[in-house]
A and B are shown apart, each in its own frame.
Chain A
Amino acid sequence: MSFSIRKSLHPGLNLGEEHGDDHLEAETSVFGFWVFMMSDLVTFGMFFAVFATTMPLACCPGPKELFDLGSVAWQTGFLLASSLTSGMAILTLKQEHATRSASTKKLIFWLLLTVLLGCGFLYREISDFIAMAAAGGPPTRSGYLSALWSLVGLHGLHVTSGLIWCLVIVAGILVRGVDMRWKLTLLRWAVFWHFLDVVWIAIFSFVFLGGLL
């Protein structure tokens, strides 16, 4: 190749030069995914804006009657831990190439652990939604509650699709092995998963903790 391979071709964790063509291929594919991620960020931003405008009208029932701080702490813990395990999966891919069977097993272990933690998050979130509806706070009750359910629900929907995506990747790796296609998919999925945790920081700080103050 006439040009030298740059170390960092796209934002986020790069596969690195040892991956050869796969690393070069990642440039367009991961950068394109960042463009999507940023447009998704604008979507979340608008849901936050709508929520913020309804906050002064948050009453009867309001945050104090509806929120369970302990459960929100559990959800935060689950999602943060899953962010770490997804990072471990990508590090396994990057450092060990995950082509030997022992290394592929390690990669799949981290991915399945991430799915498990993600399911823990969803379980607590759905239980909270059910409890909220039972306590007189369904989304039809007030503008504030509609905005709350939409914002938190949108994030939950993202987490759900992230989990399904991860399971599809695991199945694909089991069938075809860790080839370039799954490497690039894993990189994009990792960006998606870390991004969801970033959005959750804003949700637990602004919606839940901010609401309870």
Chain B
Amino acid sequence: MDKNKEFRHYLLGFVLATVLTVIPFTLVATVGGKIAFLALILCAILQLIVHLRYFLHLSFKGQQREDLQLVLFTGLILFIMVGGSIWVLGDLYNRM
């Protein structure tokens, strides 16, 4: 019973990820434009969550503190370094 549940968990993740992949590919190939762009970003974020939840089994329920701190700290570093690079160089580009 429990085994089947774990199997179905994976399968559900796979189906959700497939749907969230097909939507942006179809929209970019057919519609294009601003709608496709917004759908693309939305689907990417949703699929990221699906992967973390169903494939990597990440949940912060019952996790130890250092796990949460590890992920949050990585997020902070990425935010500062990636966001900062794009901000600074984007600003330079606009001034050129």
Contact = CB atoms under 8 A, between A and B. Distances in A.
A180 B74 CA distance: 30
Interface in B13-67: 14, 17-18, 21, 24-25, 28-29, 32-33, 36-37, 40-41, 43-44, 47-48, 51-52, 55-58, 62-63, 66-67
A88 B74 contact: no
A53 B96 CA distance: 14
Contacts of B74: 38-39, 41-42
B68 to A, nearest CB: 9
B67 A195 contact: no
Contact of B55 (A194, A212, A213): A194
B78 A42 contact: yes
Contacts of B55: 83, 87, 194, 197
Contact of A46 (B44, B63, B82): B82
Given A80-B17, A205-B43, A213 B81 contact: no
A46 B81 contact: yes
B10 A202 contact: no
B2 to A, nearest CB: 9
Interface residues of B, number: 46
30 contacts: A6-B62, A8-B62, A8-B63, A10-B67, A11-B56, A11-B57, A11-B71, A12-B56, A12-B57, A31-B66, A35-B70, A38-B70, A38-B71, A42-B77, A42-B81, A45-B78, A49-B82, A53-B90, A76-B25, A80-B18, A80-B21, A84-B14, A91-B3, A91-B7, A198-B48, A198-B52, A201-B44, A209-B25, A212-B28, A213-B28
Interface of B: 3, 6-7, 10-11, 14, 17-18, 21, 24-25, 28-29, 32-33, 36-37, 40-41, 43-44, 47-48, 51-52, 55-58, 62-63, 66-67, 70-71, 73-74, 77-78, 81-82, 85-86, 89-90, 93
Interface of A: 6-8, 10-14, 31, 34-35, 38-39, 41-42, 45-46, 48-50, 52-53, 56, 69, 73, 76-77, 80, 83-84, 87-88, 91, 94-95, 191, 194-195, 197-198, 201-202, 204-206, 209-210, 212-213
